[in-house]
Amino acid sequence: MSRASFSDDSHETAVSSPPSPDRPKLDNEDNNELVPEGGYGWVCVIASSLISAHTWGINSAYGVILAHYLSNDTFPGTSALEYALVGGLSIGCAMLVSPIVTIIVHHYGIHVALVIGAILESISFVASSFAKQSWQLFLSQGLCFGLGMGFCFVGSVGVVSHWFHKRRSLVNGITAAGAGLGGLVYSLAAGSMLIQLGFAWTMRILGIVCLVVNLISGSLLRIPPSSRPDGNASAFGLSAMRDTRFILLLIWGVLSVLAYVALLFSLSSYSVAVGLTQSQASVVSAILNLGQAFGRPVVGIMSDSLGRVNVASVATLVAGVLCLVFWVFAKNMVTVCVFAIMVGTVSGTIWAAAAPLTVEIVGLRHASSALSLFWLSLGPPTIVAEVIAVQLRGQTTDTFPYLQVQMWVGALYISSAIFLYFIKFSSRLKGKICLKNPRAV
């Protein structure tokens, strides 16, 4: 972010004198001159990346587990729609719990939230290994895992932004890349363990690994004293709804996450539908996550130099075009893998860009509460995304399986890119941007 950025009237309490309405508010009026710009922050980047790998990354393996459920009738009588709802419920709960996690972080610190999350996530896997009926799967792999992932993710996602200013998008991209690497490793590991060890021991091993890594990584996270939130910041979330830019950001988030979840959970089963084996489908899922691991840091690097709105909107647009133009015609191992790695680089842009974009719009002081509202808004769409995709699958032909899903995902990505780009025009109309510095967006 440049030396001049968005202004916001609600920041006036943070400075000695309020800014003139005719000039943009400077970064140092939001305490950005106190941001350490590295140091111990790099430890926090590594720790946050590992947490991302063992929350969102390991959740990406659900596409492989879902294919196993469908192929082996693991829970007799359970429909594909119910399995899809389990996956959506886990992500939805992670988003919906964000206000509770934010309150705990404000009053008790991030470590309490992270310990709760690590324990809940581990319990969910172990409990899933003993599940015999679908309702038990809903409670364990759906509700309990989602709550655990939410506590870990929401408790850790904003930490690195407090340690960096000029490279804020880069470090958020590296952190988000952990999800891609985790998804790569655990998609392959889950696919192999399901065959070699069976469902029960696969889930138990995943639970033990998550507990150890999340507890160690969480203990390493710190927020610098100069950036710790005050009591006034926690009440800012709802006031952000008066800002057109933040509303546009929420719309981008909702549409993007609908597309992302449907793509993430559908690609593995799509691979089986076009004739690939379950083992090959797990490889496709792993390649998708490999693309995310490479793409998210690149998005961060480009965002810091070319503008965060510019890069995020273009990356989201490219994801939509790939789904409409490439995915429809990908019907063998080579073309599906090529699509997976290409779309993987841009499909999860929301996870790398959400935090720095929110900071840029509302300021660092209010980022925690505004991000809580942002994640909360993603709860309902993440729950229903794969459910909608499952319903759309029944309306396609043998020649183009998943055609309606592919059209729907592509249209969502393109629409969300348009809404995000409107932030630039909204800012200029309100006079909240320094036109001399294009990096402000």
Res 316 pLDDT > 70 = yes
Query: Residue 231: which pLDDT band, with cuts at 50, 70 and 90?
Result: very low
- Of residues 405 and 7, more confidently modeled: 405
- Statement: residue 414 has pLDDT above 60: yes
Sequence-distant contacts of 269-274: CB under 8 A, at least 24 apart: 269/63, 269/66, 269/67, 269/70, 270/336, 270/401, 270/402, 270/405, 271/336, 272/67, 272/70, 272/71, 273/401, 273/402, 274/330, 274/331, 274/332, 274/336, 274/401
| Residue 439: predicted pLDDT | 43
**pLDDT of 4 strictly over 70:** no
- Averaged pLDDT of the chain: 79
Stretch among 128-132, 157-161, 345-349 having the lowest mean pLDDT:
157-161
pLDDT value at position 85?
Answer: 79
Confidence tier at 440 by pLDDT (50, 70, 90): very low
Residue 402 has pLDDT above 70, yes or no: yes
**Percentage with pLDDT > 90 across the chain:** 23
Question: pLDDT digits over 63-109, tens only?
Answer: 778 777 777 777 777 777 787 778 778 888 888 888 888 888 888 88
The CATH number that domain 32-440 falls under is 1.20.1250.20
CA torsion angle for 145, 147, 148, 153 (degrees, to 10)? Answer: 120
Specify the pLDDT at position 9: 36
Q: Is the pLDDT higher at 255 or at 188?
A: 255
d(CA 419, CA 312): 11
Residue 326 confidence (pLDDT): 92
What per-residue confidence (pLDDT) applies to 34? 55
What are the domain boundaries of the chain?
32-440
